[in-house]
Amino acid sequence: MRALIFTGPGQAEVREVPAPVAAPGQVIVDVERAGVCGTDVELFTGEMSYLHSGRSSYPLRPGHEWSGVVSGCGPGVDPGWAGRRVTGDTMIACGHCRRCLGGRHHVCAEMRELGIADGLPGALAEQLAFPAAYLHALPDTVDAGLGALVEPGGNAQRSVTAAALEPGERLLVLGTGTIGLLTAMIGRARGLDVHLLGRHPVFARFTRDLGFANMWTRDSLPDLPWDAVVDATNGAEMPGLAVDLVEPGRRVVYIGLSGTPSTVDTRDIVLKDVTAVGILGASSGLEEVVRSYAEGSVDPQPLVAATVGLDDVAGVLAGRRPAGAGPGPKILVDPRR
Protein backbone atom coordinates (compact mmCIF):
# COMPACT_ATOMS: atom_id res chain seq x y z
CA MET A 1 0.00 0.00 0.00
CA ARG A 2 0.98 3.65 -0.30
CA ALA A 3 1.91 5.66 2.79
CA LEU A 4 3.48 9.03 3.56
CA ILE A 5 6.77 8.72 5.42
CA PHE A 6 8.84 11.43 7.11
CA THR A 7 12.47 10.46 6.53
CA GLY A 8 14.14 13.48 8.16
CA PRO A 9 13.59 17.16 8.93
CA GLY A 10 11.82 18.70 5.93
CA GLN A 11 11.85 15.40 4.05
CA ALA A 12 8.73 13.41 3.18
CA GLU A 13 7.97 10.87 0.50
CA VAL A 14 5.18 8.54 -0.51
CA ARG A 15 6.38 4.94 -0.35
CA GLU A 16 5.05 1.49 -1.10
CA VAL A 17 5.03 -0.29 2.26
CA PRO A 18 3.67 -3.67 3.42
CA ALA A 19 -0.06 -3.62 4.07
CA PRO A 20 -0.86 -3.98 7.79
CA VAL A 21 -1.94 -7.28 9.32
CA ALA A 22 -4.34 -7.20 12.26
CA ALA A 23 -2.68 -8.42 15.44
CA PRO A 24 -4.81 -9.72 18.32
CA GLY A 25 -7.15 -6.96 19.46
CA GLN A 26 -6.66 -4.90 16.29
CA VAL A 27 -8.70 -4.06 13.22
CA ILE A 28 -7.64 -2.99 9.76
CA VAL A 29 -9.16 0.30 8.62
CA ASP A 30 -9.37 1.44 5.01
CA VAL A 31 -8.61 5.14 5.54
CA GLU A 32 -11.06 7.51 3.83
CA ARG A 33 -9.82 10.83 5.18
CA ALA A 34 -6.95 12.08 7.33
CA GLY A 35 -6.33 15.59 8.58
CA VAL A 36 -3.11 17.60 8.38
CA CYS A 37 -2.44 19.08 11.82
CA GLY A 38 0.06 21.50 13.36
CA THR A 39 1.65 18.54 15.12
CA ASP A 40 2.29 16.95 11.71
CA VAL A 41 3.97 20.17 10.59
CA GLU A 42 6.27 20.12 13.63
CA LEU A 43 7.16 16.46 13.01
CA PHE A 44 7.90 17.32 9.38
CA THR A 45 10.09 20.32 10.19
CA GLY A 46 11.89 18.58 13.05
CA GLU A 47 10.69 21.09 15.65
CA MET A 48 8.46 18.64 17.55
CA SER A 49 9.76 18.17 21.10
CA TYR A 50 9.29 14.38 20.92
CA LEU A 51 12.01 14.22 18.26
CA HIS A 52 14.44 15.75 20.73
CA SER A 53 13.38 13.68 23.74
CA GLY A 54 13.58 10.40 21.84
CA ARG A 55 9.86 9.66 21.98
CA SER A 56 9.64 10.04 18.20
CA SER A 57 12.23 9.32 15.53
CA TYR A 58 12.58 9.12 11.76
CA PRO A 59 11.41 7.39 9.66
CA LEU A 60 7.90 8.15 10.91
CA ARG A 61 4.43 7.72 9.39
CA PRO A 62 2.17 10.58 10.56
CA GLY A 63 -1.60 10.97 10.74
CA HIS A 64 -3.68 11.06 13.92
CA GLU A 65 -6.89 12.70 12.67
CA TRP A 66 -8.72 10.15 10.54
CA SER A 67 -11.83 8.23 9.55
CA GLY A 68 -12.37 5.07 7.57
CA VAL A 69 -14.11 1.72 7.22
CA VAL A 70 -13.14 -1.44 9.10
CA SER A 71 -12.13 -4.01 6.49
CA GLY A 72 -10.71 -6.71 8.74
CA CYS A 73 -10.69 -7.90 12.36
CA GLY A 74 -7.86 -9.61 14.19
CA PRO A 75 -8.14 -12.36 16.80
CA GLY A 76 -10.25 -11.43 19.80
CA VAL A 77 -12.09 -8.58 18.06
CA ASP A 78 -15.88 -8.51 17.78
CA PRO A 79 -16.55 -9.30 14.08
CA GLY A 80 -19.42 -6.83 14.26
CA TRP A 81 -16.89 -4.06 13.67
CA ALA A 82 -16.38 -5.24 10.07
CA GLY A 83 -17.83 -2.79 7.56
CA ARG A 84 -18.44 -0.05 10.11
CA ARG A 85 -17.32 3.51 9.60
CA VAL A 86 -15.06 4.59 12.45
CA THR A 87 -12.55 6.98 13.88
CA GLY A 88 -10.33 6.43 16.88
CA ASP A 89 -8.58 7.84 19.94
CA THR A 90 -5.02 9.04 19.35
CA MET A 91 -3.93 8.11 22.89
CA ILE A 92 -3.26 4.38 23.15
CA ALA A 93 -2.47 3.30 26.73
CA CYS A 94 -1.62 0.18 28.75
CA GLY A 95 -5.16 -0.16 30.13
CA HIS A 96 -4.23 -1.54 33.54
CA CYS A 97 -2.23 1.07 35.46
CA ARG A 98 -3.62 3.36 38.16
CA ARG A 99 -4.12 6.21 35.68
CA CYS A 100 -5.91 4.06 33.12
CA LEU A 101 -8.18 2.48 35.73
CA GLY A 102 -8.91 5.97 37.07
CA GLY A 103 -10.17 7.21 33.69
CA ARG A 104 -6.97 9.05 32.78
CA HIS A 105 -5.53 6.76 30.12
CA HIS A 106 -4.45 9.80 28.07
CA VAL A 107 -1.71 10.46 30.65
CA CYS A 108 -0.66 6.83 31.11
CA ALA A 109 3.10 6.54 31.55
CA GLU A 110 3.15 3.96 28.74
CA MET A 111 0.79 5.92 26.48
CA ARG A 112 1.64 5.92 22.80
CA GLU A 113 0.24 8.42 20.29
CA LEU A 114 -0.86 7.18 16.90
CA GLY A 115 1.15 8.78 14.10
CA ILE A 116 3.11 10.92 16.54
CA ALA A 117 5.24 8.74 18.82
CA ASP A 118 7.25 5.69 17.80
CA GLY A 119 5.53 2.35 17.53
CA LEU A 120 2.12 3.22 16.06
CA PRO A 121 2.23 4.15 12.35
CA GLY A 122 -0.33 6.81 11.50
CA ALA A 123 -3.25 7.22 9.15
CA LEU A 124 -1.61 9.07 6.25
CA ALA A 125 -1.74 5.79 4.37
CA GLU A 126 -4.26 3.68 2.49
CA GLN A 127 -4.73 1.36 5.47
CA LEU A 128 -4.23 1.50 9.22
CA ALA A 129 -3.87 -1.18 11.91
CA PHE A 130 -5.66 0.07 15.01
CA PRO A 131 -6.64 -1.33 18.44
CA ALA A 132 -10.37 -2.05 18.53
CA ALA A 133 -10.64 -0.92 22.16
CA TYR A 134 -10.01 2.68 21.03
CA LEU A 135 -12.45 2.77 18.10
CA HIS A 136 -15.43 5.11 17.95
CA ALA A 137 -18.26 4.24 15.56
CA LEU A 138 -19.52 7.01 13.28
CA PRO A 139 -23.24 7.36 12.51
CA ASP A 140 -24.39 7.73 8.92
CA THR A 141 -24.85 11.48 9.34
CA VAL A 142 -21.13 11.93 10.04
CA ASP A 143 -19.39 11.57 6.69
CA ALA A 144 -15.70 10.82 6.09
CA GLY A 145 -14.64 14.47 6.24
CA LEU A 146 -16.48 15.14 9.49
CA GLY A 147 -15.09 11.89 10.86
CA ALA A 148 -11.54 13.15 10.35
CA LEU A 149 -12.48 16.28 12.31
CA VAL A 150 -13.64 14.33 15.38
CA GLU A 151 -10.15 14.27 16.94
CA PRO A 152 -9.59 18.06 16.83
CA GLY A 153 -13.23 18.48 17.83
CA GLY A 154 -12.63 16.33 20.90
CA ASN A 155 -9.80 18.63 21.95
CA ALA A 156 -12.08 21.63 21.54
CA GLN A 157 -14.88 19.87 23.41
CA ARG A 158 -12.62 19.26 26.37
CA SER A 159 -11.48 22.89 26.28
CA VAL A 160 -15.03 24.25 26.44
CA THR A 161 -15.94 21.84 29.24
CA ALA A 162 -12.85 22.90 31.20
CA ALA A 163 -13.88 26.55 30.92
CA ALA A 164 -16.85 25.67 33.20
CA LEU A 165 -19.22 28.36 31.91
CA GLU A 166 -22.98 28.68 32.05
CA PRO A 167 -25.13 29.69 29.04
CA GLY A 168 -24.90 33.42 28.44
CA GLU A 169 -21.45 33.80 29.96
CA ARG A 170 -18.64 35.25 27.87
CA LEU A 171 -15.88 33.08 26.38
CA LEU A 172 -12.81 34.54 24.68
CA VAL A 173 -10.96 32.17 22.37
CA LEU A 174 -7.40 33.12 21.46
CA GLY A 175 -6.58 31.77 18.01
CA THR A 176 -8.51 31.21 14.79
CA GLY A 177 -7.00 27.92 13.67
CA THR A 178 -8.96 24.68 13.55
CA ILE A 179 -8.97 24.11 17.32
CA GLY A 180 -9.84 27.72 18.08
CA LEU A 181 -12.74 27.78 15.64
CA LEU A 182 -14.04 24.41 16.80
CA THR A 183 -13.87 25.67 20.38
CA ALA A 184 -15.91 28.70 19.33
CA MET A 185 -18.48 26.52 17.54
CA ILE A 186 -18.89 24.18 20.50
CA GLY A 187 -19.11 27.12 22.90
CA ARG A 188 -21.82 28.69 20.76
CA ALA A 189 -23.74 25.40 20.71
CA ARG A 190 -23.69 25.51 24.52
CA GLY A 191 -25.22 28.97 24.54
CA LEU A 192 -22.06 30.92 25.38
CA ASP A 193 -21.32 34.47 24.23
CA VAL A 194 -18.27 33.64 22.11
CA HIS A 195 -15.57 36.11 21.07
CA LEU A 196 -12.46 35.35 19.01
CA LEU A 197 -9.06 37.02 19.01
CA GLY A 198 -6.96 36.54 15.88
CA ARG A 199 -3.66 37.82 14.63
CA HIS A 200 -4.85 39.41 11.39
CA PRO A 201 -8.01 41.34 10.46
CA VAL A 202 -8.22 39.28 7.24
CA PHE A 203 -9.80 36.42 9.23
CA ALA A 204 -12.73 38.63 10.26
CA ARG A 205 -14.74 37.99 7.10
CA PHE A 206 -14.35 34.22 7.37
CA THR A 207 -15.34 34.15 11.03
CA ARG A 208 -18.34 36.38 10.29
CA ASP A 209 -19.36 33.92 7.57
CA LEU A 210 -19.24 31.23 10.27
CA GLY A 211 -21.67 33.35 12.30
CA PHE A 212 -19.19 34.92 14.72
CA ALA A 213 -19.62 38.68 14.73
CA ASN A 214 -17.26 39.26 17.65
CA MET A 215 -13.86 38.84 16.00
CA TRP A 216 -11.03 40.99 17.35
CA THR A 217 -7.34 41.65 17.00
CA ARG A 218 -5.13 42.56 19.94
CA ASP A 219 -5.47 46.25 19.10
CA SER A 220 -9.25 46.18 18.75
CA LEU A 221 -10.12 43.86 21.66
CA PRO A 222 -12.76 45.60 23.80
CA ASP A 223 -12.38 46.01 27.54
CA LEU A 224 -15.00 43.46 28.60
CA PRO A 225 -15.13 41.00 31.48
CA TRP A 226 -14.01 37.64 30.06
CA ASP A 227 -15.56 34.84 32.10
CA ALA A 228 -13.12 32.32 30.64
CA VAL A 229 -10.27 32.42 28.15
CA VAL A 230 -9.12 29.50 25.99
CA ASP A 231 -5.63 29.81 24.51
CA ALA A 232 -5.58 27.85 21.25
CA THR A 233 -2.47 29.54 19.82
CA ASN A 234 1.23 28.72 19.53
CA GLY A 235 2.38 32.13 20.72
CA ALA A 236 4.74 32.08 23.70
CA GLU A 237 3.28 35.33 25.00
CA MET A 238 -0.37 34.23 24.82
CA PRO A 239 -0.62 32.17 28.04
CA GLY A 240 0.34 35.25 30.03
CA LEU A 241 -2.14 37.35 28.09
CA ALA A 242 -4.89 34.84 28.90
CA VAL A 243 -4.25 35.29 32.62
CA ASP A 244 -4.19 39.08 32.22
CA LEU A 245 -7.55 39.09 30.42
CA VAL A 246 -9.63 36.59 32.40
CA GLU A 247 -11.94 37.73 35.17
CA PRO A 248 -10.67 37.13 38.73
CA GLY A 249 -11.83 33.84 40.13
CA ARG A 250 -12.46 32.30 36.69
CA ARG A 251 -10.60 29.95 34.36
CA VAL A 252 -8.00 29.95 31.62
CA VAL A 253 -7.68 26.84 29.48
CA TYR A 254 -4.50 25.98 27.59
CA ILE A 255 -4.84 23.77 24.51
CA GLY A 256 -2.18 25.44 22.30
CA LEU A 257 1.56 24.85 22.59
CA SER A 258 4.33 27.25 21.62
CA GLY A 259 7.64 26.13 20.18
CA THR A 260 9.51 27.91 22.99
CA PRO A 261 8.77 28.09 26.73
CA SER A 262 5.89 30.38 27.68
CA THR A 263 6.12 32.88 30.51
CA VAL A 264 3.26 33.08 33.00
CA ASP A 265 3.66 35.02 36.23
CA THR A 266 2.13 32.76 38.87
CA ARG A 267 1.66 35.79 41.10
CA ASP A 268 -1.00 36.92 38.65
CA ILE A 269 -2.69 33.53 38.85
CA VAL A 270 -2.64 33.57 42.65
CA LEU A 271 -3.65 37.18 43.16
CA LYS A 272 -6.52 36.85 40.66
CA ASP A 273 -7.50 33.45 42.09
CA VAL A 274 -7.46 32.04 38.56
CA THR A 275 -7.78 28.35 37.77
CA ALA A 276 -5.47 27.28 34.92
CA VAL A 277 -6.30 24.03 33.09
CA GLY A 278 -4.15 22.18 30.59
CA ILE A 279 -5.72 20.00 27.90
CA LEU A 280 -3.81 17.03 26.45
CA GLY A 281 -5.67 15.10 23.80
CA ALA A 282 -9.26 14.52 22.79
CA SER A 283 -10.02 11.24 24.54
CA SER A 284 -12.88 12.11 26.88
CA GLY A 285 -14.40 14.55 24.36
CA LEU A 286 -14.72 12.19 21.40
CA GLU A 287 -18.13 10.68 22.06
CA GLU A 288 -19.79 14.00 22.74
CA VAL A 289 -18.35 15.66 19.66
CA VAL A 290 -19.51 12.76 17.47
CA ARG A 291 -23.03 13.37 18.81
CA SER A 292 -22.74 17.11 18.15
CA TYR A 293 -21.67 16.52 14.55
CA ALA A 294 -24.37 13.88 14.03
CA GLU A 295 -27.20 16.09 15.27
CA GLY A 296 -25.87 19.17 13.47
CA SER A 297 -25.47 21.41 16.51
CA VAL A 298 -21.82 21.79 15.46
CA ASP A 299 -20.94 21.80 11.74
CA PRO A 300 -17.20 22.01 11.09
CA GLN A 301 -17.45 21.38 7.34
CA PRO A 302 -16.73 25.07 6.44
CA LEU A 303 -13.33 24.74 8.14
CA VAL A 304 -12.13 22.37 5.40
CA ALA A 305 -10.25 24.35 2.75
CA ALA A 306 -9.36 21.46 0.45
CA THR A 307 -8.95 17.71 0.17
CA VAL A 308 -5.72 16.51 -1.43
CA GLY A 309 -3.95 13.23 -2.17
CA LEU A 310 -0.91 11.72 -0.47
CA ASP A 311 1.45 13.12 -3.11
CA ASP A 312 0.36 16.66 -2.21
CA VAL A 313 0.89 16.45 1.56
CA ALA A 314 4.59 17.34 1.61
CA GLY A 315 3.81 20.62 -0.16
CA VAL A 316 1.03 21.39 2.32
CA LEU A 317 3.37 20.72 5.23
CA ALA A 318 5.93 23.05 3.65
CA GLY A 319 3.34 25.83 3.64
CA ARG A 320 1.98 25.64 0.09
CA ARG A 321 -1.77 26.11 -0.10
CA PRO A 322 -3.55 23.88 -2.63
CA ALA A 323 -4.86 25.56 -5.76
CA GLY A 324 -8.50 26.51 -5.35
CA ALA A 325 -8.44 26.06 -1.58
CA GLY A 326 -11.16 27.76 0.39
CA PRO A 327 -10.63 30.12 3.33
CA GLY A 328 -10.79 27.47 6.06
CA PRO A 329 -7.75 26.40 8.08
CA LYS A 330 -8.01 22.60 7.64
CA ILE A 331 -6.55 20.48 4.83
CA LEU A 332 -7.82 16.91 4.58
CA VAL A 333 -6.18 14.02 2.73
CA ASP A 334 -7.82 11.22 0.75
CA PRO A 335 -5.07 8.55 0.77
CA ARG A 336 -6.80 6.66 -2.04
CA ARG A 337 -6.01 9.45 -4.52
What does each of the 337 residues of the chain score in pLDDT, given as a tens digit? 999 999 999 999 999 999 999 999 999 999 999 999 999 999 999 999 899 999 999 999 999 999 999 999 999 999 999 999 999 999 999 999 999 999 999 999 999 999 999 989 999 999 999 999 999 999 999 999 999 999 999 999 999 999 999 999 999 999 999 999 999 999 999 999 999 999 877 778 899 999 999 999 999 999 999 999 999 999 999 999 999 999 999 999 999 988 888 989 999 999 999 999 999 999 999 999 999 999 999 999 999 999 999 999 999 999 999 999 999 999 999 999 9
Percent of the chain that is helix, strand, coil (3-state, to 5): 30, 25, 45
Q: What is the pTM of this model?
A: 0.96
Distance CA(221)–CA(244), nearest Å, equals 13
pLDDT of residue 203: 75
Distance CA(5)–CA(291), nearest Å, equals 33
**Structural domains in the chain, sorted by start:** 2-149+300-333 (3.90.180.10), 153-278 (3.40.50.720)
DSSP letter string over 224-271?
A: --EEEEEE-S--TTHHHHHHHHEEEEEEEEE----SS-----HHHHHH
Which residue in 14, 116, 114 sits closest to 333, CA to CA? Answer: 14
Distance CA(8)–CA(59), nearest Å, equals 7
pLDDT of residue 258: 87
Residue 175 CB neighbours (<10 A): 24
